[in-house]
Amino acid sequence: MQVIQDKEELKSVLEKQQTDNLAVGFVPTMGALHKGHLSLVEQALTENDIVVVSIFVNPTQFDNKEDLEKYPNTLKEDIELLQTISNNIILFTPTKEGIYDGQITSKTYEFNGLEKVMEGAFRPGHFNGVATIVELLLTTVNPNKAYFGEKDFQQLQIITKLVANKKLPVTIVPCPISREENGLARSSRNERLSKTTRKAAGFIFKTLQTAKRKFGTENVQDIKEWVQHAFAKNTIFEMEYFEITDESTLTPAKKVQSDLKYRAFIAVYADGVRLIDNMPLN
């Protein structure tokens, strides 16, 4: 497996692939790789000739300094893990200065309100940081397809919009959420949970499943109140938000329309760690 830090070197390696008409898949990550990331890489490997995985902890998308400082860095293990699945991977590990050309700041974007709700409301500046780095990475790698997890469903919708707005020649491929045995969505942040909390965190998934069951028969407001209650009684997890929105605009649902697809979204804190999850409802 090739590990490349310099973006010009990466571009020249990839240009050769592209002149040979080889399909390039791209999986951007912030490292501390787990089975969720690997499921994206594996899907990319089945659909492309070569896969670029990037590992870059993007400072401009962190609204919380402590979260950035505590973000795990496990590059050696990440390389070993990727080596176990394929030789057809190029690992791109840019430096901050290198990928940002020295100017480590976010651009400002608008995504028809997709960026204003949920993660956008609770993490000011987060999606400007995400869009800035994803645009930089996509224009550097210039892949045929780029893979993003539904674990970060709002991010996925925003990136789909970014690609459409900027007319970038790439197909965005959504990938299903990979979960631990108790249903907890896999995340690099799970490593920071105590053993007891991690075990108990199946509660988040179970609550989403119950909300999904209720969605067929109860109104949105009642479901939201039920979830709020369930978390108020729980001493381990503190809920930040629970929202039911339609999937394409992400506007909070009031009355349910039979022709739209809906999804439930949740953010909770446990052991000072922020966890997010979501689930389709119909």
Active site members: 37
Question: Considering all CA atoms of the chain, what is the largest pairwise distance in Å, rounded to the nearest integer?
Answer: 60
What string marks each residue from 113 to 152 as x (binds ligand AMP by CB under 6 A) or -? Answer: -----------------------------------xx-xx
Q: At its nearest, how many Å lie between ligand AMP and the CB of residue 148?
A: 4
Q: Residues 7, 24, 37, 133: which binds ligand AMP (CB under 6 A)?
A: 37
Q: How many of the other CB atoms lie within 10 Å of CB of 132?
A: 21
Q: Is the Cα torsion angle 202, 85, 44, 56 positive or negative in sign? A: positive
Segment contacting ligand AMP (CB under 6 A): 2-10, 69-77, 174-182, 215-223?
A: 174-182
Point out which residues pair with 145 in neighbouring strands. Answer: 25, 171
Q: Where are the beta strands (DSSP E) in 117-203?
A: 145-149, 171-175
Q: At its nearest, how many Å lie between ligand AMP and the CB of residue 40?
A: 5
Segment contacting ligand AMP (CB under 6 A): 66-74, 170-178, 237-245, 246-254?
A: 170-178
Secondary structure (DSSP) of 15-55 = HHHHHTT--EEEEEE-SS--HHHHHHHHHHHHH-SEEEEEE
Q: Is the separation of the CB atoms in 265 and 198 below 8 Å? A: no
Contacts of 95 by beta carbon, 8 Å cutoff, 6+ apart: 5
Segment contacting ligand AMP (CB under 6 A): 8-16, 162-170, 182-190, 249-257?
A: 182-190
Q: Residues 141, 177, 270, 279: which binds ligand AMP (CB under 6 A)?
A: 177
Q: At its nearest, how many Å lie between ligand AMP and the CB of residue 17?
A: 22
Does residue 198 touch ligand AMP according to CB under 6 A? no
Does residue 29 touch ligand AMP according to CB under 6 A? yes
User: What are φ and ψ of residue 12, in 5° steps?
Assistant: -70, -35
What string marks each residue from 149 to 168 as x (binds ligand AMP by CB under 6 A) or -? Answer: x-xx----------------
Q: Residues 48, 128, 187, 197: which binds ligand AMP (CB under 6 A)?
A: 187
CA dihedral of residues 68, 112, 160, 5 (deg, nearest 10):
-30
Closest to ligand AMP by CB, 36 vs 143, is 36
Round to whole Å and give the CA distance between 84 and 75: 14
Q: Where are the alpha helices (DSSP H) in 146-264?
A: 153-165, 195-200, 202-215, 220-233
Segment contacting ligand AMP (CB under 6 A): 89-97, 183-191, 200-208, 269-277?
A: 183-191
Closest to ligand AMP by CB, 186 vs 198, is 186
Q: Is the separation of the CB atoms in 60 and 128 below 8 Å? A: yes
Closest to ligand AMP by CB, 7 vs 37, is 37
Q: Residues 82, 138, 163, 185: which binds ligand AMP (CB under 6 A)?
A: 185
- Interface residues with ligand AMP (CB under 6 A) are 29-30, 36-37, 40, 148-149, 151-152, 175, 177-178, 185-188
